[in-house]
Amino acid sequence: MSDTPRPPYLARLRIVEAYLRFQLQQVEKWIAEEEAKIEQAEARRPLPPPPEWLIEQGLSGRAPVYVHHGDCWNAGKRSRGVDRDQAVRALTEGGVPACSHCRPDTELGLLDEA
């Protein structure tokens, strides 16, 4: 057996605690760095292009109320992107009115400009 006295058990536990706190700080720093890298990569990713045409749903979320051009400033939050054929069908067969601001019916060739 060794003749050197060992530090009290509580003191040894405090040393282990300090070491583990240091290690935890290192891991938290690495996590923050990785999260920052992910955020930077997502910020560099280009946004998808806006849809060419929108159909705005009513308050119920079912019945369409307007057809808009994809970049119409008047399109509501309940709008969803559609393709050209769906927009034409909504205007012609579905009886959905065209937005009076962006006039998608004119751009789709359904109305001649006056």
DSSP string across 99-114: PTTT-HHHHTTSS---
The tally of CA atoms less than 13 A away on the side-chain side of residue 104 is 30
Q: What is the pLDDT of residues 61-73, one digit of tens each?
A: 678 889 998 888 8
Q: Domain extents for the chain?
A: 1-45, 53-107
Q: What is the pLDDT of residue 54?
A: 92
Q: Residue 1: is its pLDDT beyond 60?
A: no
User: Residue 92 and residue 36: Cα distance in Å, rounded?
Assistant: 49
Q: What is the pLDDT of residue 25?
A: 98
Q: Residue with structure tokens 């040894």?
A: 12
Measuring CA to CA, which residue among 68, 55, 54 is closest to residue 101? 68
Q: What is the pLDDT of residue 58?
A: 84
Q: Residue 16: is its pLDDT beyond 70?
A: yes
Q: What is the pLDDT of residues 28-39, one digit of tens each?
A: 999 999 999 999
Q: Residue 113: is its pLDDT beyond 50?
A: no
Q: What is the pLDDT of residue 114?
A: 40
Q: Choose between 62 and 105: higher pLDDT.
A: 105
56 bridge partner residues: 66, 79
